[in-house]
Amino acid sequence: MPVSKTDFIRALQCEKMLWLDAHAPELKIIPPEVQARLDAGNDFGDVAMGIFGDYVETTTFREDGRLNYAAMIEKTQALLRDDAPVICEAAFTWYGNFCAADILRKEGAGYALYEVKNSHSARKEFVTDLGFQHFLLRKCGVPVTSCNLILRGDEPPQDYCHPDEPYEKEEFRTHADFRYRIVTVTKGARLADKLASERIFEYGKLKRKDAPMPDVSPSHHCETPYRCWYYEYCHK
């Protein structure tokens, strides 16, 4: 079964979480404050699309209101052939696995990849998210020149930092009267690319109809890096 970048990040936190997403999503409980944070993140990302000037967004919907992934992928390929300067929600698939990159910005013979996060900090899971996207873009033949996080720049950051995954560059940019912080984390994203390569098909098997539920006991991963939406189910 195909894996999205959201699937990948959730499975890294807990494989049982991904299994429940696929087999028993009705058990999830999303607290109102969490949903509000997710909605705020979407709004933040929508505004940040214009951070580099004019752009083309691939987002396309079906008549029933669901995203039209096939149309988004087709539109992305057309924009890449035309060397579009800035593409938002650039969609890619490889063996059914899917991601939509928040922003691709033309840079020389390739594209710089940007993930937008409504956060002040360059957290480990954000870098891993970029790594999954880097993996799929690489498999689709897109040269990725750098991997970057677009963060809030209105307060001092408290970054995750690991000796093997430092950020290489930092800059600030103002758009729509808001200060953004752009952090380059190419090295860390490439390390996460290897992780995606190793686990993507393993995680896909968890989504199959006949896949058994993973035997995972509740532990610190239930709340790290985020409280699981199935917390009540697993702790009953």
Sheet bearing 86-94, strands edge to edge: 56-57, 86-94, 97-107, 110-116, 144-152, 178-184, 169-175
Q: What pLDDT, on the 0 to 100 scale, is given for residue 168?
A: 87
Tally of domains in the chain? 1
Amino acid occupying residue 146: S
Radius of gyration of the chain (CA): 18
DSSP state of 52: G
Per-run averaged pLDDT (10 residues), the chain, 236 residues? 95 97 96 89 94 97 94 98 97 97 97 96 93 98 97 83 69 94 95 96 96 95 93 92
Q: What's the CA gap between 22 and 87, in Å, rounded?
A: 30
Q: Which residues sit opposite 184 in a β-bridge? A: 148, 169
DSSP state of 99: E
| pTM for this predicted structure | 0.94
The three-class DSSP label of residue 152 is strand
Question: Domain residues for 71?
Answer: 5-234
Q: What pLDDT, on the 0 to 100 scale, is given for residue 236?
A: 83
Q: What pLDDT, on the 0 to 100 scale, is given for residue 129?
A: 96
